[in-house]
Amino acid sequence: MRILVVLGFLAICHQAMAETVNVYSFRQNFLIQPILDEFTKETGIKSEVIFAKKGLIQRIKREGKLSPADVVLTSDFSKLLDLKDQGLTQAFDKDSLIQSNIPSQFRDEDRQWVALTKRVRNIYSSKERVGKLNIRYEDLSSAKYKGKICTRSGKHPYNLGLIASMIAHDGVDQTEQWLTGVKNNLARKPQGNDRGQVKAINSGLCDISLGNSYYFGKMLMDDKQKVWADSVELNFPNQQDRGSHINVSGAVIAKHAPHKDAALKLLSFLSSDKAQAMYSELNMEYPVKPGVAPSKLVQSWGDFKADTIALNQVAAQRKAALKLVDKVKFDL
């Protein structure tokens, strides 16, 4: 009996000593769990994940210093900025692997967030009615596309990021003229998601749409949606000048992370060759770490030139972008 008690006590102690990292995730579990499982296999650190499409930032604020969150994984750049702006992050170490793995373009200058994957804001075009295009984002305001463009809300983070990048490159006044031209060319009121726009092209409702690159891969892998993807060309805009706009997913270490060391180890792993390759294979996204090849499916879409503007410069124009969307009444 004494032996059983001692063994039980040791088991409890071992469980208590086992490292754990608590992850609040805007990314769905099936997208990240295989990567987290690999992290546990390599480090012995277990992960506990809470997923929600929205409300996680408000939850962390409510929890305050008692929040169990160690790491927050985001599905877009805007939430990285929100977390930093609301004082809910802490800096990762200067000498961490994150610094050496991820280029400065994709890291916060104060080390408060780091990008983990890239996706392109592509322009889709109807294979049947338009064909492959050598196109710039600026061309979307051209009169030749009158009544031919579909898009989701201008206030969605993916479109706000693009608009903010236009402001960073061309200024507010020129971007306002461009956005007004795009609005005048819409085939219908902004609605739905990126895949919904490709569905609309397939249905003949429009000929052109904006959409993130990884959605193309997701549609190709879906039996019901493959017909939508097969009806469009995937175009990389601005290949003769600044390059295509890049959005990112990313991560932060939470302000009151109870397991900061484990959190830092997780972010270092997520920026490693293995995790970066897994992200591309599982999610059809582009690695952020130089030298890591995209998956074969992603590579099949062709090489492209990416805009090299620092994300911090784009972030600085996000509020101006939102004001422009309201000013031109883009969604009305």
- CA-CA distance, 270 to 324, in Å (whole number)? 35
pLDDT of residue 18: 63
Which of 163, 185, 161, 173 has the alpha carbon at shortest distance from 250? 161
**Ranges of the chain with pLDDT below 50:** 1-17
Q: For 176-199, how does the pLDDT look when each residue is reduced to its tens digit (9 = 90+)?
A: 999 999 999 999 999 999 999 999
Tokens 């883009």 map to which residue?
A: 330
Q: What is the distance between the terminal CA atoms of the chain, rounded to a whole angstrom?
A: 74
Q: How far, in whole angstroms, is CA 319 from its chain's centroid?
A: 19
- CA-CA distance, 137 to 246, in Å (whole number)? 13
pLDDT of residue 11: 38
Question: Per-residue DSSP letters for 169-233?
Answer: HH-HHHHHHHHHHHHHTBSS-S-S-HHHHHHHHHTTS-SEEEEEHHHHHHHHT-TTTHHHHHTEE
Residue ranges of domains in the chain, CATH in brackets: 19-118+247-299 (3.40.190.10), 120-245+310-327 (3.40.190.10)
pLDDT of residue 7: 36
3-class state of residue 295 by DSSP: coil
Residue 142 DSSP label = S
